[in-house]
Structure 1
Amino acid sequence: MHQKEDKILVEKMRRIHKESYKTYGIRRIKAKLNKESISCGKNRIARLMRENGIFSRLRRKYKATTHSNHRLPIAPNLIDQDFTADRPNKKWVGDITYIPTDEGFLYFSGIEDLFQRKLVGWSLGSRITKELTLKALEQAVGRENPGDGLIFHSDRGSQYAAYAFQEILCKYCIRQSMSRKGNCYDNACMESFFSTLKKILSMVEDLRPAK
């Protein structure tokens, strides 16, 4: 009886896993099953995933992307989780994420405009440095030529608190805003963008011809 139930459950888990472009892990698969009124314990899901080779493509060792334990100046939180904007170049948000590759990790620094919800600046590198965020900011300013009143929001990472980064913000009259310490929801929109980006990258990998 249990084997039959497990077989049906595994089929549903495979469908959910496929629909997520193989990015969902135990917690998200459990949440989707619950939404479909299927009650199943976390341990059972973990066992069935392990036994049937269902793993998240994003299941990697955690990589820290910002260093917030520093003595650089911290800006106030001007956004306060209000991710709306009534015009372009009113609120930008920035963050850094890692992208796993066959040869190691790459680091992606992105800047998103909250009005258009589009990427206005980005840079890619093999190391997390202040130059990574500086390049993304300089690209965004060069493309958009924002006027006065723009707010740039990020976490408290040293790459964003660096004096060189603050000098560019000051040069273009951009006000700096930073998340509260340890509060990932203060920059949730960038987290959402990175999640979508990684799903797209997983789809592209699926389309690559086998070697």
Structure 2
Amino acid sequence: MQRLCRVLGVSRCGYYRHLAGASARAERQAEEKRTVAEIRQIHAEHRGAYGAPRIHAELRSRGRRINRKRVTRLMRVNGIVGRHLRRGKRTTIADRTAPPAPDLVMRDFTATALNTKWCGDITYIAVGSSWLYLATVIDICSRRVIGWSIADHMRTQLVTDAITMAVASRGGQVGGVVFHTDRARNIRRGPLPRSAAGTASAGMGRVGSSYDNALAESFFQGLKRELLHGSRFTSKARTRMEFFRWLAYYNRRRHSALGYLAPAEFEQQLTTSHRLSLVA
């Protein structure tokens, strides 16, 4: 053994340390395989949408003590990649006939309480040779989608239907909420349903500036990355169902801006904390 170590250029003590650590290395490799399998399971459960940050948060919520850098390394080595979307084209067209409205948000997409700031926007999807349009209303505090509407047109009704749903989902109590959008065609100052009249005000960002409606833009990027990218839809009925399914999933999906809590979970914790503070 001494001669063999000399030929190989290693020390005898180093060789024996290597032998002694064989079982520990085997256990580490087995544990790593189990971790990769769990990462693949989470990745598959979310249809490939989760990248390293969300998978790390999910593992931690399951009681796994694991470093985020390790998750990133394991995903890279094993070819597990979250979905990414290339930059798309601009679709916002200014309505020059609409009266000007102030920007009440001024790029401050933060809120400390529910129903103080909402934002919304419209996106579209090709279905065969026609189109479907989706309008959404998001509570800026919790990032939760509280209202949406899908139609084969982009008239004002598309937006008012989404706002009507948002008002109903909040029990009709939305006094003083600011609804922020961009200066898109058919979205004008105060496009509020009769049930919300006098309870909310609308503000608009500038044309062609994604930063002025950054939260809604980010939401639609996620939708296109996770639902639309690489998919072809030919049935409007099925497309509507896929939209409904993803929107419900989004409210239960981990969100980086919420400390990787889901919007629904964040609202529940916020409501519970508020009730406890009132009792105290």
2:162 corresponds to 1:136: yes
> Secondary structure in 1 aligned to 2:213?
helix
In the alignment, the residues of structure 1 paired with residue 210 and residue 90 of structure 2 have an alpha-carbon distance, to the nearest angstrom, of 15
Indicate the residue corresponding to 1:24 in structure 2: 85
Q: Quick check: 2:90–2:208 contact (8 Å CA) kept in 1?
A: no
* Structure 1: unaligned runs, 5 residues or longer: 1-11, 28-58, 207-211
In the alignment, the residues of structure 2 paired with residue 150 and residue 114 of structure 1 have an alpha-carbon distance, to the nearest angstrom, of 11
Question: After superposition, what is the alpha-carbon deviation per residue over 1:97-147, rounded to whole angstroms, capped at 9, x for unaligned?
Answer: 112334432111011001111101001111211111011011111111233
TM-score (norm 2): 0.49
2:172 corresponds to 1:110: no
Residues 124, 170 of structure 1: CA spacing in aligned structure 2 closer, same or farther, 3 A cutoff? closer
Give aligned pairs, total.
Answer: 154
Question: After superposition, what is the alpha-carbon deviation per residue over 1:17-69, rounded to whole angstroms, capped at 9, x for unaligned?
Answer: x8353x534x7xxxxxxxxxxxxxxxxxxxxxxxxxxxxxxx7xx473x4313
Q: Quick check: 1:169–1:176 contact (8 Å CA) kept in 2?
A: no
2:224 corresponds to 1:198: yes
Residues 166, 67 of structure 1: CA spacing in aligned structure 2 closer, same or farther, 3 A cutoff? farther
Q: Quick check: 1:169–1:175 contact (8 Å CA) kept in 2?
A: no
**Which of 70, 83, 107 pairs up with 2:96?**
70
**Which of 79, 82, 86 pairs up with 2:108?**
82
Indicate the residue corresponding to 2:182 in structure 1: 155
In the alignment, the residues of structure 2 paired with residue 142 and residue 117 of structure 1 have an alpha-carbon distance, to the nearest angstrom, of 17
**Which of 168, 174, 179 pairs up with 2:200?**
174
> Secondary structure in 2 aligned to 1:19?
coil
TM-score (norm 1): 0.63
In the alignment, the residues of structure 1 paired with residue 202 and residue 117 of structure 2 have an alpha-carbon distance, to the nearest angstrom, of 10
> Secondary structure in 2 aligned to 1:175?
strand
In the alignment, the residues of structure 2 paired with residue 169 and residue 63 of structure 1 have an alpha-carbon distance, to the nearest angstrom, of 33
Q: Quick check: 1:92–1:114 contact (8 Å CA) kept in 2?
A: yes
Which of 1 and 2 has higher RCO (CA within 8 Å, sep 6+)?
Answer: 1
**Which of 146, 168, 176 pairs up with 2:173?**
146
Residues 155, 193 of structure 1: CA spacing in aligned structure 2 closer, same or farther, 3 A cutoff? same
Q: Which amino acid aligns with 1:19?
A: V
Residues 183, 205 of structure 1: CA spacing in aligned structure 2 closer, same or farther, 3 A cutoff? closer
Question: After superposition, what is the alpha-carbon deviation per residue over 1:145-182, rounded to whole angstroms, capped at 9, x for unaligned?
Answer: 2332200000112322167x256487142011110233
Q: Quick check: 2:189–2:202 contact (8 Å CA) kept in 1?
A: no
In the alignment, the residues of structure 1 paired with residue 104 and residue 189 of structure 2 have an alpha-carbon distance, to the nearest angstrom, of 19
Q: Compute the RMSD of aligned alpha carbons.
A: 2.9
Residues 155, 88 of structure 1: CA spacing in aligned structure 2 closer, same or farther, 3 A cutoff? same
> As a proportion of its length, which structure holds more helix?
2
